[in-house]
Amino acid sequence: MTSLNLNVSGLPKSATLAINERCRALRAEGETIYDFGLGQSPFPVPEPVRHALQENAHQKDYLPVEGLRGLRDAVAAYHSRLNRCDHRGDHVLVGPGSKELMFLVQLVYYGDLVIPTPSWVSYAPQARIIGRQVNWLPTRAEDNWMLSAETLDEHCRTDPERPRIVILNYPSNPTGATLSSDQLVEIAEVARRYGVVLLSDEIYGELHHRGEHTSIACHYPEGTIISGGLSKWCGAGGWRLGYFVFPSQHVRLGRAMAVAASETFTSTSAPIQYAAVAAYQEDPRLREYLERARAVLRLMAGWATRKLNSVGLTLPRVDGAFYLFPDFSRHREALAARSITDSRGLCEYLLDHTGVAALPGEAFGCPADDLCIRMAYVDFEGGRALEAVSEFLDSDGDEETFDEEAFLAEVAPRVVEGIDGLVEEVASW
Ligand code: GLU
């Protein structure tokens, strides 16, 4: 038998990619599937960025391992504008997706990984592959399942000098909730007290539904690494472009990551990097694109939340991204009568009975018997939705009186049918 490294042996494929493959296979067999599995943007790549890629198809040379100079400067300038502080281009590291950079930072930094429960599916397996200790911190439904400063403090206090990377992801995958400025300030104070490396995963920052994302880097500039990329806000997951912006204090970490990158992926695709320069410019077309995308996601989240609440499913307020994280615990007895006692079983049941594909809370580190699931509401034609919402926004329509149901039934019929089917199922228990 082939011998495998023990850290990898028995590890399944990432839950996000596995559900995607499963949905594709079921659809190929002719099943009706409402795909709330993989968190992939439904929107097309904005035109100026697509155009820049076409113009740069001829770029064929290896680029510097840290990334194209013009892109690093554009990213630094972009975050300097957003955060009203000074980020430097030579502190930016570009990679083939921020996921790869998250792996590299854990590889080169010798310390524990600290993450809230729930957290995105890949942080902990990456730590396991590298052989790092993972500390899952508890969160509460009242806090929208977000990390609190007190919990972080309690954890760090037990061993104050220990080196740690804390990953904070807001708006959050899997909940769509975010942290307020006050919460960010409090967490920043604790992070500073213990000198933790704070990895601020802001991949959904641009998709804050009201465009009100703020970075914790404003409050803990010396210790925060910002992680971002094109995948979510720019509809370009498959382009694989992410970056880290380092503070001066952690430039050494960035250099060590570049060494590891130089021995592994070499550099990120050249045409994609040239195209990405266009994505980080101040361009009214990009602003408009984002306003529209946010409006679609906001309308959908509001409608879906009301629907799910109507059958006793509770969920955090969705402030950004494209996720819902309903909790089925009020139906625990009805589920137990169907032999369902955990989130994995619940997802299997929903797939079988409603065609809704979702991910179990367990994949995000929740205790197995919690009954939360993540639903990515992305199974719709994003280009069509952007056009339709522009008509509404251009008419200065009032969101309070807007007929979301009719709008969504037209632009996102699979999302509507999926949620309606799920609600009907729950109502029948
Ligand atoms: N972030 C996406 C999700 O949580 C998937 C991307 C990936 O796993 O690489 O569904």
Domain boundaries, the chain: 6-44+285-427, 48-281
pLDDT in tens, 294-306: 999 999 999 999 9
Residue ranges of the chain with per-residue pLDDT less than 70: 397
Q: What span, in angstroms and rounded, lies between the C-alpha atoms of 242 and 268? A: 9
Task: Give residue 399's pLDDT.
Answer: 72
Q: Which CATH number applies to 6-44+285-427?
A: 3.90.1150.10
Q: Specify the pLDDT at position 397.
A: 67
pLDDT of residue 40: 96
Binding site membership of 374 for ligand 1 (Cβ less than 6 Å): no
Query: How confident is the model at residue 1, as a pLDDT?
Result: 76
What pTM did the predictor assign?
A: 0.96
Please, are residues 221 and 247 in contact by the beta-carbon 8 Å criterion? yes
Q: Which CATH architecture has domain 48-281?
A: 3-Layer(aba) Sandwich (3.40)
Which atom, in ligand 1's list, is nearest to the CA of 359?
Answer: 10
Q: According to the model, what pLDDT value does residue 402 have?
A: 76
How big is the CA angle at 232 (ends 231 and 238), to the nearest 5 degrees?
30
Ligand 1 within 6 A of CB of 38:
yes
Q: Tell the residue nearest (CA) to atom 10 of ligand 1.
A: 39
Closest ligand 1 atom, residue 237 Cα: 6
Ligand 1 within 6 A of CB of 173: yes
